[in-house]
C-alpha cells in the first residue's frame, strides 16, 4: 500500500493516527534540528517533519530529497505548533518514522508553482511538469466535471449519447479536412470530421429523437492564436422541435452547468436578432456585461457642413461614463492611434467631452454649436463627466471599429467583471452571404440550415436579390462576448435541400457525390429536426473568465500545429508510405 | 408544437385528454368504416383511429398514408375496445381529428421490424432505416447508458476524464497506424492513436493521479470479422497503486455497470494465473459459465502401447455429461471431422463412453482395459452416461484444439446460458514472447508493462532464457470467454524501460525517437502507476449476450473498412493532394 491518505485530507481530528502518504516533494527546509518537507499530490500538500536528534539517519536522508522527488512517508499525525491557515492540512504535520524514495527527479526546468517562471514553449515541451501546477490541474478537473454535468443533464432530458465515426468522407467545401489515406482501398482517403453534422441528422432520420455527443472535431486551418486543429464540441440534435424547444433545452443545459460547477444561478437569456446585435453593438456576439450601446447619428449630425459625417454611410457613437476629467488630450490621442492601427483601421476618432463645469469640448466644435452637442449628448443619456466617441464611414467597417472601441473601453473601465456572466441568444441570422470575390453565396451557418418558414417559398422561386434577404432559423448562444454555441433548424425536405445546394454553387453531381446519402435519407421519412453545438474548450475558458482555450486542453498544439512534447507530426517510414501508395513531393520554392 | 406526448407514454389514465403525437407510420389497417394507423417513435407505438362515417375527408387522407410516412396527429385519447396487452400503450387509442403529413417516405427497401428481411449490406447502406428498428435503437441506448454509468462510477472514485490528442506520432511497432498528412509541416505525418497509452502514463507523471477516458482508438489492420478500424476503449490509469488496488477498483466498476444497467449482482471474480487458465481450459480467456475442465493424462495413459499417446507431448481430455446415449457413432464421427477442419486441425478424437448399462465403449479399447478406462473416468469424475473426449499432440496446439472442443460442447449442451455471467481475472502473464519468425521478443501486453517485482533484477541482468520466464504485472478481465479488459502495472523507471526497449529490439536511437518524451518524463519524478483499458464495444456486446460488436456501433465499417452509407473512403481532389505534397502511386500487379 502506497498510501492510507492523500496529501489533502488529513485534519486535526486525525492527530494520533499512523498514516502513509505518497507524493512529490514541493519544498524542504532545515530549521535547526528539524527538517520540514512539503509533499504534494493532486489533492493538496502535507507537511512532513524529521528530527535530527530523534532520528539522525532518517533526517539525513530527508535532507537529501530534491524538488519533485517521489516519496512515500509513514508516521504519526500530530498537531502543528505553527499552523498554516491557508492550507486545508495546515493544522497538522506527520512525524515521519519511515521514508521511501519511490523515484528521484532531475531539477525541473521551471518552478512547479501556481505562477511559474516557465515560458510557453518550455511548458509545452515539459507538459507533464506544467500539469503538476495546481491551476492547470484545476482546469482539467473543471473540464471533466463540466463534461459529466453536461451528460447528466442531457441524459435527464432523454438524450442518447451516440458515437459517430471519425473515419468519414472528405467534403472539400468549407474548412479544409484532415485526410487519412486508406491502405485497404488504394488511392482513397478518409477524412476526419469537422463536425458530426450529417451523421447527427442521419440519426434523426433514424428515429433516435434526441442525440448528443461530446466529441473531437478536426479542421486543417492556418492556425491563428487560440485555434486548435483538434477541438471538442458538445454536439446535439433533436427531432420534432421548433426553435423555442431548442432554446429552452439548451438554456436549461447552460443553467445546469453554471449551477453545478460554479454554484451560480444565471440571469435571463435575452434574445436579440442578428440585425439588432449589429445595430446596437456592431457585433453578432456582444458582451452584455455592460451597456454602452451604439447610438446611430445619421439624422442628427448630417447636413451641418461637416463633410466627414455628411459623406459617411454611417455615423455612430458610444458614451463612456465618467472619464471626461481623467482622459487627457494625450489619452485621447493614444486612443485615436490605437483605433488607427491596421488591425482596426479607423480613420479618426471624434469625441465630445461633457465636462464637470458644464462646458462641452469636442473635436467637431467648429461644425456644431454647444447646444447641438448637448442635444447630441442627450441621445446617449450623457451626463456631466461623460465622453462620447463617434466613428463614421462605411456601415460594416464603422460598426466593427466601434465594436472594438466599445470592448476596449469596457476593459479600461473595468466593466467586464470577472465572475459576472451575461448570456444571450442571437437569432434570425441571414441564410446566405454573398461573397463578391468568389461570386457565389456561402451558407452563413452551414448548408443544412433551414430558412425561416415564412421565407421558404421565396427561397424556392425567388431571384438573386431575394436570396440575400432570406433569414435562417439559426441561433447562437453568446456569453460575455464569446460565441459558445450555435445551431439551427435543419432542412428535412429533399427539394429544399437541393435548392440550397444549387444556391451554394454545387452542381447536381457534386451534391450527389458528397451528400447523396443525406438527400437519399430525406426521401425515407425525415422528421423535422434541429440542433446545436457548443464549443466545449471555449465554454470551459469562458466559464473560468479566461481568454485562451489552450489552458483547458491537456495536450494542445502550438501555432504550427505541432505537439512540442512528443514532437509530432514527424516523418514516417518509406514502408508506411509504400503501403499507402503515396509519394512525397515537396516543391522547392 | 409537434407533440404533447411521445408515442410510448399514453395510458388509460390519459383517456379524455386531447393530445398531439408525431412519429412514423408503422402500419395501417382498414376494418370496415374504421382505419387504424400505428405511429412509432423511439419511445413506443400508439394507435390512431379514423372513422369514415364521422370524418370521411380525414379518413380518406389517413388511408393514403404509406409505411414510414412522418405524421403529426391530434385527437382525444380513449380506451380501446380491443386492448393489446403486449404494448405499453395498448389500452388506449387516439380518436384523431387533425392529421398533418410532416414528410412522405418511399417504400423502405426492407421491413422496419424487430426481425428484418434486410441483408447486411442493405442494412448498412440504409443504416438510417436499420436504426429505426427497436433492437438496434435499444443497443445504442444501452451503450449510452453504459458509458454514463461508467463515468458516474469513475467520477465517484475520484477519476478525472481527460481528453488526450488524436493527432499524435506514428510508432511503427505493433499494429499499423492510420496516418494523417500534415499540410503545415510538409512531408510529415500525424498518426491516429492506437490507444492513449503513453499519454495516460504522462498524465500520471503529471500528477493527475486517477485518469480515465472513453475514447476512440484506431488500428489499420486487415479486418477480420468483428474487428473495426475505429473502436472505443474505457481507458484508465492510476498512480500509487499495486495490482490489488486496480483489480478492486475495476471489479467495482463492472459490478456497478451490471447493477445499474442490467439490474444484476455479479458473483465472485475468481482469479487464475495465465498458466492455470491454459492448463485447465486451454485458453487465457476461459468461459467459466460451465466447468468441463481439462484433465491432463500423460501420467495415466502413457506406456500402455498406444503410440499416439506415447509420442504426444500432451494427452488431455474433457468430460461431457450425459451424452453417452444420445451421441451416436455418426455424431461422434461428425464431431471428429469438425475437429479435423483446417481451422482447428486436430488429427483425431479419442472418446470413452461410460454407458448407462455400466459398459465402456472407446476408440482406444484395444489398448486399455475396461478397468483402466474406468479409472481414467474417475479422474474426470465421469459417471454413467458421460463421454470423455481426449486429444493429444504438441502441448500448445492440443490445448487450443481441446479449447475449441470444450466451447463447442458447451454450446451444444446449452451450458453457455444467456443471462448468466461468469467473470474472472487472469493474472501473471509472461512479460515477453519469443517470436521464432522475427527472431526477437515481443511484449505480451505492451512495451510499458512492468515485470513482477521479484523478476526485476533477473530482467536487468539475466540471459536470453531467463527472459522467457519473466512474469508481468499484467491482468485481463474475462467474462463468458471474452476478454473485455486488460492492463498492467507500468514501468516507471527509466533504466528498466530502456532495458525493456533493448529486449524488444529497439535501438537506442529508435527508442529515443519514438518514446524519448516518456523516457524523459521518467527522469522527473514518475510515480508508480498502472491501469487498464476495457474494450467498450465488446463490453456492450458481452453484457447483451451477443457476439458481434457491430450491432452496438451506430455506423460500423464493413470488412473492407468501408462505410457503405456515406461511401467512404473515396478519392480526394488533386488540389488537396498537392497541398499535402502527396502523389498517389499504385503499383500495377
Option in A41, A108, A585 nearest B524 (CB): A108
Q: In terms of C-beta density within 10 A (0-12 exposed, 13-18 middle, 19 or more buried), how is residue B221 classed? A: middle
Residue B2 has pLDDT above 70, yes or no: yes
Q: Are A261 and A336 in contact (CB under 8 A)?
A: no
- pLDDT for the residue B41: 98
- pLDDT for the residue B227: 85
- pLDDT for the residue A196: 96
- pLDDT for the residue B246: 98
Residue A497 has pLDDT above 70, yes or no: yes
Residue B365 has pLDDT above 80, yes or no: yes
Model confidence band, residue B588 (pLDDT cutoffs 50, 70, 90): low
Residue A558 has pLDDT above 60, yes or no: yes
Exposure b/e, B461-491, CB count within 10 A at least 16 = b: eeeeeebeebbbbbbbbbbbbebbbbbbbbb
Nearest to A101 by CA among B490, B452, B527: B527
Interface of A with B in 139-158 (CB under 8 A): 140-141, 143-144, 147-148, 151-152, 155
Q: Tell me the per-residue pLDDT of A102-139, one tens digit each, with 9 for 90 and over.
A: 999 999 999 999 998 888 899 999 999 999 999 999 99
Residues of A in contact with B568 (CB under 8 A): 167-169, 190-191
Residues of B in contact with A174 (CB under 8 A): none
- Residue ranges and CATH numbers for the domains of chain B are 12-103 (2.40.50.140), 137-271+423-553 (3.30.930.10), 290-412 (3.30.1360.30)
Q: Tell me the per-residue pLDDT of B480-492, one tens digit each, with 9 for 90 and over.
A: 999 999 999 999 9
Residue B69 has pLDDT above 80, yes or no: yes
Kindly state the helix (H) or strand (E) to which residue B74 belongs, with its residue range: strand B70-79
Residue B173 has pLDDT above 70, yes or no: no
> If you write DSSP's letter for every residue of B240-255 in order, what string do you get?
S--HHHHHHHHHHHHH
The set of residues, in sequence order, having a beta carbon less than 8 Å from that of B297 and lying 6+ positions away, is: B309, B315, B316, B317, B376, B379, B390
Query: How high is the ipTM of this complex?
Result: 0.96
| Interface residue of A131, A554, A581, A583 to substitute, partner B, most B CBs within 10 Å | A554
Mean pLDDT calculated for residue range B250-268: 97
> Which range has highest mean pLDDT (A153-162, A443-452, B165-174)?
A153-162
A168-182, A354-368, A543-557 — which is least confidently predicted? A168-182
B57: cell is 375527408
Residue A197 has pLDDT above 80, yes or no: yes
Nearest to A368 by CA among A318, A314, A320, A297: A297
A479: cell is 456569453
Task: Give the mean pLDDT of chain B.
Answer: 95
- pLDDT for the residue A588: 65
Distance from CA of A70 to the nearest CA of B (A): 6
Residue A581 has pLDDT above 80, yes or no: yes
- pLDDT for the residue A223: 72
Q: Are A561 and B182 in contact (CB under 8 A)?
A: yes
Option in B137, B565, B581 nearest A207 (CB): B137
**Given the C-alpha cell 438554456, which residue does it identify?**
A251
Residue B38 has pLDDT above 60, yes or no: yes
Q: Tell me the per-residue pLDDT of B282-305, one tens digit each, with 9 for 90 and over.
A: 999 999 999 999 999 999 999 999
- pLDDT for the residue A173: 66
Task: Give the mean pLDDT of chain A.
Answer: 95
Option in A144, A170, A242 nearest B570 (CB): A170
Beta strand spans in B150-229 (E): 160-161, 179-181, 189-191, 210-218
Residue B244 has pLDDT above 90, yes or no: yes
- pLDDT for the residue B587: 75
Residue A312 has pLDDT above 90, yes or no: yes
B350: cell is 479419442
B554: left (phi over 0), alpha (psi -120 to 50) or beta: alpha
Kindly state the helix (H) or strand (E) to which residue B491 belongs, with its residue range: none
Q: What percent of chain B has pLDDT over 70?
A: 99
Q: Chain A contact for B135, CB < 8 A?
A: no
Mean pLDDT calculated for residue range A348-352: 95
Model confidence band, residue A459 (pLDDT cutoffs 50, 70, 90): very high
| Three-state DSSP string of A344-390 | CCCCCCEEEEECCCCCEEECCCCCCCHHHHHHHHHHHCCCCCCEEEE
Q: Chain A contact for B536, CB < 8 A?
A: no
- pLDDT for the residue A226: 77
Is B169 close to A567, i.e. CB distance below 8 A?
A: yes
Q: Chain B contact for A170, CB < 8 A?
A: yes
Distance from CA of B480 to the nearest CA of A (A): 26
- pLDDT for the residue B222: 84
Residue A175 has pLDDT above 90, yes or no: no
Q: What is the dihedral of CA A51, A57, A63, A64, to 10 degrees?
A: -170
Q: Chain B contact for A580, CB < 8 A?
A: yes
- pLDDT for the residue A222: 84
Q: Are B454 and B448 in contact (CB under 8 A)?
A: no
Residues of B in contact with A587 (CB under 8 A): 581
Q: Give the C-alpha separation, A489 to B304, whole Å.
A: 82
CA dihedral for A275, A278, A284, A285, sign (positive or negative): negative
Mean pLDDT calculated for residue range A409-425: 96
The β-bridge relationship of strands B440-443 and B432-435 is antiparallel
Is A169 close to B568, i.e. CB distance below 8 A?
A: yes
Is B209 close to A582, i.e. CB distance below 8 A?
A: no
Q: What are phi and psi of B236, to 5 degrees?
A: -135, 150
Residues of B in contact with A526 (CB under 8 A): 70, 103
Is A565 close to B202, i.e. CB distance below 8 A?
A: yes
Name residue B389's beta-bridge partners.
B318, B351
Q: Chain B contact for A191, CB < 8 A?
A: yes
Is B144 close to A161, i.e. CB distance below 8 A?
A: yes
Residues of A in contact with B223 (CB under 8 A): 184
Mean pLDDT calculated for residue range A65-82: 97
Q: In terms of C-beta density within 10 A (0-12 exposed, 13-18 middle, 19 or more buried), how is residue A515 classed? A: buried
- pLDDT for the residue A589: 55
Distance from CA of B451 to the nearest CA of A (A): 17
Is A525 close to B24, i.e. CB distance below 8 A?
A: yes
Option in A155, A209, A568 nearest B42 (CB): A209
Mean pLDDT calculated for residue range A17-24: 98
Q: Chain A contact for B229, CB < 8 A?
A: yes
Distance from CA of B517 to the nearest CA of A (A): 6
Residue A358 has pLDDT above 60, yes or no: yes
Q: Tell me the per-residue pLDDT of B129-160, one tens digit each, with 9 for 90 and over.
A: 999 999 999 999 999 999 999 999 999 999 99
Mean pLDDT calculated for residue range A480-499: 96
Q: Tell me the per-residue pLDDT of A420-442, one tens digit each, with 9 for 90 and over.
A: 999 999 999 999 999 888 888 99
Q: What is the DSSP letter of A146?
A: H
- pLDDT for the residue A68: 98
CA distances from B70 to A49, A525, B21, B65, B132 (A): 73, 6, 11, 9, 13
Mean pLDDT calculated for residue range A172-200: 92
Q: What are phi and psi of B208, to 5 degrees?
A: -75, -10
Q: Tell me the per-residue pLDDT of A259-297, one tens digit each, with 9 for 90 and over.
A: 999 999 999 999 999 999 999 999 999 999 999 999 999
Distance from CA of A182 to the nearest CA of B (A): 7
A114: cell is 501556481
Distance from CA of B220 to the nearest CA of A (A): 8
Q: Are B122 and B92 in contact (CB under 8 A)?
A: no
Q: Chain B contact for A240, CB < 8 A?
A: yes
Mean pLDDT calculated for residue range A442-463: 93
- pLDDT for the residue A237: 98
Q: Chain B contact for A82, CB < 8 A?
A: no
Q: For residue B23, give the 3-state DSSP assignment.
A: strand
End-to-end CA distance of chain A: 61
Distance from CA of A112 to the nearest CA of B (A): 11
Option in A131, A169, A525 nearest B570 (CB): A169
Q: In terms of C-beta density within 10 A (0-12 exposed, 13-18 middle, 19 or more buried), how is residue A483 classed? A: middle
Interface of A with B in 327-386 (CB under 8 A): none
Model confidence band, residue A549 (pLDDT cutoffs 50, 70, 90): very high
What's the CA angle centered on B555, arms B554 and B560, to 5 degrees?
A: 145
Residue B441 has pLDDT above 60, yes or no: yes
Residue B329 has pLDDT above 70, yes or no: yes
Which contacts (CB < 8 Å, 24+ apart) does range B330-333 have? none
Q: Tell me the per-residue pLDDT of B493-537, one tens digit each, with 9 for 90 and over.
A: 999 999 999 999 999 999 999 999 999 999 999 999 999 999 999
Helices and strands (H and E) in chain A: how many: 18, 23
Residues of B in contact with A22 (CB under 8 A): 240, 527
Q: Chain B contact for A584, CB < 8 A?
A: yes
Mean pLDDT calculated for residue range B203-226: 92
Amino acid at each position: 500500500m502506497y498510501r492510507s491518505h492523500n496529501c489533502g485530507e488529513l485534519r486535526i481530528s486525525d492527530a494520533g493516527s499512523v498514516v502513509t502518504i505518497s507524493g512529490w516533494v514541493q519544498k524542504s527546509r532545515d530549521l535547526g534540528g528539524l527538517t520540514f518537507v512539503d509533499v504534494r499530490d493532486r489533492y493538496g500538500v502535507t507537511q512532513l517533519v524529521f528530527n535530527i536528534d530523534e532520528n539522525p539517519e532518517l533526517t539525513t536522508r530527508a535532507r537529501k530529497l530534491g524538488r519533485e522527488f517521489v516519496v512515500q512517508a509513514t508516521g504519526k499525525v500530530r498537531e502543528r505548533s505553527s499552523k498554516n491557515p491557508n492550507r486545508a492540512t495546515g493544522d497538522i504535520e506527520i512525524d515521519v518514522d519511515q521514508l521511501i524514495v519511490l523515484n528521484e527527479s532531475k531539477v525541473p526546468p521551471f518552478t512547479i508553482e501556481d505562477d511559474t517562471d516557465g515560458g510557453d514553449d518550455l511548458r509545452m515541451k515539459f507538459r507533464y511538469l506544467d500539469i503538476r501546477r495546481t491551476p492547470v490541474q484545476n482546469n482539467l478537473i473543471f473540464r471533466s466535471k463540466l463534461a459529466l454535468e453536461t451528460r447528466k443533464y442531457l441524459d435527464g432530458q432523454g438524450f442518447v449519447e451516440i458515437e459517430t465515426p471519425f473515419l468519414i468522407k472528405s467534403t472539400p467545401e468549407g474548412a479544409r479536412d484532415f485526410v487519412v489515406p486508406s491502405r485497404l482501398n488504394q488511392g482513397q482517403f478518409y477524412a476526419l470530421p469537422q463536425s458530426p453534422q450529417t451523421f447527427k441528422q442521419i440519426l434523426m432520420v433514424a428515429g433516435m429523437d434526441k442525440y448528443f455527443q461530446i466529441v473531437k472535431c478536426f479542421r486543417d486551418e492556418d492556425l491563428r492564436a487560440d485555434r486548435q486543429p483538434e477541438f471538442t464540441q458538445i454536439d446535439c440534435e433533436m427531432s420534432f422541435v421548433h426553435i423555442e424547444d431548442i432554446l429552452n433545452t439548451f438554456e436549461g443545459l447552460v443553467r445546469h452547468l453554471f449551477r453545478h460547477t460554479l454554484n451560480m444561478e444565471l440571469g435571463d437569456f435575452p434574445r436579440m436578432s442578428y440585425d439588432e446585435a449589429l445595430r446596437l453593438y456592431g457585433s453578432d456576439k456582444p458582451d452584455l456585461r455592460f451597456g454602452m450601446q451604439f447610438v446611430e447619428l445619421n439624422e442628427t449630425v448630417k447636413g451641418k457642413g461637416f463633410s466627414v459625417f455628411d459623406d459617411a454611410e454611417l455615423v455612430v457613437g458610444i458614451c463612456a461614463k465618467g472619464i471626461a476629467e481623467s482622459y487627457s488630450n494625450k489619452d485621447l490621442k493614444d486612443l485615436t492611434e490605437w483605433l488607427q492601427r491596421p488591425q482596426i483601421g479607423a480613420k479618426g476618432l471624434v469625441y465630445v467631452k461633457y465636462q464637470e463645469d458644464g462646458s462641452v469640448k469636442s473635436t467637431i466644435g467648429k461644425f456644431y454649436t454647444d447646444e447641438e452637442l448637448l442635444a447630441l449628448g442627450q441621445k446617449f443619456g450623457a451626463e456631466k463627466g461623460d465622453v462620447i466617441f463617434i466613428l463614421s464611414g462605411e456601415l460594416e467597417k464603422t460598426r466593427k471599429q466601434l465594436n472594438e472601441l466599445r470592448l476596449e473601453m469596457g476593459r479600461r473601465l473595468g466593466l467586464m467583471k470577472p465572475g459576472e456572466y451575461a448570456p444571450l441568444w442571437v437569432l434570425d441570422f441571414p441564410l446566405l452571404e454573398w461573397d463578391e470575390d468568389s461570386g457565389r453565396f456561402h451558407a452563413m451557418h452551414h448548408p443544412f440550415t433551414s430558412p425561416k418558414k415564412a421565407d421558404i417559398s421565396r427561397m424556392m422561386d425567388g431571384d438573386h436579390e431575394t436570396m440575400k434577404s432570406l433569414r435562417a432559423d439559426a441561433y447562437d448562444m453568446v456569453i460575455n462576448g464569446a460565441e459558445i454555441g450555435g445551431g439551427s433548424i435543419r432542412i428535412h425536405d429533399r427539394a429544399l435541400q437541393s435548392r440550397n445546394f444549387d444556391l451554394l454553387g454545387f452542381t447536381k453531381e457534386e451534391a450527389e457525390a458528397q451528400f447523396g446519402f443525406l438527400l437519399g435519407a430525406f426521401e425515407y421519412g425525415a422528421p423535422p429536426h434541429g440542433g446545436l453545438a457548443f464549443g466545449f474548450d471555449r465554454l470551459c475558458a469562458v466559464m473560468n473568465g479566461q481568454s485562451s482555450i489552450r489552458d483547458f486542453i491537456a495536450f494542445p498544439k502550438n501555432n504550427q500545429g505541432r505537439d512540442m512534447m512528443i514532437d509530432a507530426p514527424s516523418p514516417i517510414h518509406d514502408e508506411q508510405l509504400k503501403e499507402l501508395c503515396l509519394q512525397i513531393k515537396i516543391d522547392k520554392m
